[in-house]
Structure 1
Amino acid sequence: MLAVFAKSLSSHDPLSGLEVGERPEPSVTDGWTTIEVRAASLNHHDLWSLRGVGLREDALPMILGCDAAGVDEKGNEVVVHSVVPSEDWRGDETLDPKRSILSERHMGTFAERVTVPRRNLVPKPRELSFAEAACLPTAWLTAYRMLFTRACLQPGATVLVQGAGGGVATALIVLARAAGARVWATSRSEDKRERALGLGADAVFEPGARLPERVDVVAETVGAATWEHSLKALKPGGTLVISGATSGDAPPASLTRIFFLQLSVIGSTMGTREELDRLVRLCVERDVRPVIESEVPLADAREAFATLAAGDVFGKLVLTR
């Protein structure tokens, strides 16, 4: 079957190890099932995998990809939840210290077919296309958990989204707006700031800009480059929720500001199958749709990877069949 896989790893030239070609059909173990993949979306995790972060040399060749939507063995349209917990784990999958996600220990979704645990399947409603549904399990689920599970965002609150443009950031803007929050966003790119307004952001700013007032919640995925601004943007008692650090993970702690203003700094990682199910329903019931930069045939995956690596993306890149 046709697949996109990591043949080798390189921290300085990740695309050098990317291959598009034939791979063996997946084998099915007890409790797992085979999905015919109709669409799968890219994440920065796929680039990190090619750099050797979370993916070991002894696991190569590894089919990449976390997210997918497709058809199961019974003909049902489904969305794949990518977090794979331990066999005996009960409760929130993201808290399992032995958890993994597809493309780390188990073959990923950038293929014509993928095997996944049956418990990882969520019904895909007919209102969502396969491409739209494939955007939800990682970036959009991460945003959902950040806003509603971890930050407990309330209607009418003001949320600042740092670094508008990527898959998580665009999801944060759309979901916060759908929940009745006032949404502000930052970006270095004037074009991305304008596009954030088009998604429903109430105001946009350059990174580090002085804001009209302090906010209730800051959604942070950038890290060191925006950390100080994120803390200064919060009103007393406000919440900073972080799910990534693309610019580095060693910013000044600003401990005095945190304790004196009683700020909450909360980590957030991925999301549960139950949260994915709720996110899918939210998209249908509130007519919310993922932002898709482009859809690319699976055979042309290298083009999509190069676009993601260049950083010139607003929303999600989707591989389709």
Structure 2
Amino acid sequence: MIAAYAARFADDAVSGLEVGSRPDPEPRDGWSVVDVRAAALNHHDLWSLRGVGLRAEQLPMILGTDAAGVTADGREVVVHGVIGGPGTDEPRSLLSERYDGTLAEQVAVPTWNLVDKPAELSFVEAACLPTAWLTAYRMLFTSGGAAPGHRVLVQGAGGGLATAAILLGAAAGLEVVVTSRSPERRERALSLGAAAAVEPGARVPRADLVLESVGQATWSHSVRSVKPGGTIVVAGATSGDASPAELTRIFFTEITIKGATMGSRDDLVHLLAFLARTGVRPLVDSTYPLTSAHAALGKLAEGEQFGKIVVTP
């Protein structure tokens, strides 16, 4: 089968990628093989190409954590990309960390990881959900406890996580405030349903909940912008780890800080139902054929996309 895989590690990431023939997945008990119809890209793919979370002896490793496709018996499914974890004999990992990922014509996953794709969603739309959208859903509702009328600050606009948070939050009756350096991205955020879009660090009304995925560049603003007793949910640190942690403000104002990494299979089921019933759909920046994976990952590395980049085998 044709696949996009990490062949070597490289600082510029994309030069370590190759697209070519790899062995078909082998059947194993309790696992299913999915014919991939669409797979979405994530920054996890770029980190893998730089050697983060992978060892040289694991190469070549097929990249990708998100996919939607069809099983051998014709079932249309969305792949939950978290393998193993508590309650199983399998160490917790994401697809493309221990097992080959989704940027291929086929992918093998535990059958339990498959969720029925709603007929209302296309394969391209469904493929956008299992990482960025699932993380946004978990940050907002499972970890963040957001409810209609709450104000939510989203640090950064343009990527899959931020656009998902805006669309989900607006549909759920939240007041979503977004930060971005780019005037164009602020305008796009407003068009998606954000109540306000401001420059990073700008003073904003105190938020019940802050979604933080930037880290060092925005952490102090997040801590200053959340209400006393409010919550900050952290799902990444693209600008580096925060320093200092501002512990004095955190304990004095009784701020709760929670971490979120993707979400559970149940979260994915609920997210799919949310989209099917509300009509909310993922924002797709662009689609590429699998054979053009270099160009697709190159665009992701440039950081100029607004929404998800999808690859179709």
Would the TM-score normalized by the shorter structure come out above 0.5? yes
1:34 equivalent to 2:27? Answer no
Residue equivalent to 2:5? 5
CA distance in 2 between counterparts of 1:275 and 1:135 reads 15
What are the within-5 Å matches in structure 2 for residues 106-125 of structure 1? 106-125=99-118
* Equivalent position to 1:163, from 149, 156, 165: 156
Instruction: Give the counterpart letter for 1:180 in structure 2.
Output: G
SS in 2 for 1:192: helix
Amino acid at match of 1:297: P
Q: In the alignment, does 2:294 pair up with 1:302?
A: yes
Distance 2:4 2:24 in 1: 13
Mapped to 1, the partners of 2:253 and 2:18 lie a distance apart of 50
Query: Using a 3 Å threshold, how does the CA distance of structure 1 residues 116 and 169 change in structure 2: closer, same or farther?
Result: same
Q: How does 1:1-321 map to 2 (within 5 A)?
A: 1-10=1-10, 12-86=11-85, 89-90=86-87, 98-211=91-204, 213-321=205-313
TM-fit CA distance, 1:98: 2.3
Letter in 1 for 2:124: A
- Contact 2:79–2:130 (8 Å) recurs in 1: yes
- Partners in 2 of 1:194 and 1:28 — Cα distance? 48
Q: Distance in 2 between matches of 1:98 and 1:250?
A: 28
Structure 2: how far apart are the matches of 1:318 and 1:251?
34
Counting aligned pairs with the same residue, the percent is 60
Query: How far apart are the structure 2 equivalents of 1:183 and 1:202?
Result: 5
1:256 deviation in Å? 1.1
> How many residues are treated as equivalent by the alignment?
313
TM-score (norm 1): 0.95
What is the one-letter code of the residue matched to 2:73?
Answer: K
| Structure 1: tracts of 5 or more residues without a match | none
One-letter amino acid of the structure 2 residue matched with residue 53 of structure 1: V
Amino acid at match of 1:8: R
What is the TM-score with the length of structure 2 in the denominator? 0.98
In structure 2, relative to structure 1, the CA distance for the partners of 1:187 and 1:97 (3 Å cut) is farther
How far is 1:97 from its partner? 9.1
- Residue 259 of structure 1 deviates from its aligned partner by 1.1
Q: Distance in 1 between matches of 2:137 and 2:266?
A: 12
Report the Cα distance in structure 2 between the residues aligned to 1:148 and 1:276, rounded to whole angstroms.
12
| Runs of 5+ unmatched residues, structure 2 | none
Shift of residue 250 of structure 1?
A: 3.1
Deviation at 1:16, TM superposition (A): 1.5
The residue matched to 2:132 in structure 1 has which SS?
helix
> 2 CA distance for matches of 1:263 and 1:25?
49
Q: Deviations over 1:166-192 (max 9, x none)?
A: 111111111111111111100011111
* Cα pair 2:217 2:242 within 8 Å, conserved: no
Task: Note if contact 2:219-2:242 (Cα within 8 Å) is conserved in structure 1.
Answer: no
Partner letter of residue 17 of structure 1?
A: G
Distance in 2, Cα, partners of 1:291 & 1:241: 23
Partner of 2:166, secondary structure, is helix
Amino acid at match of 2:210: V
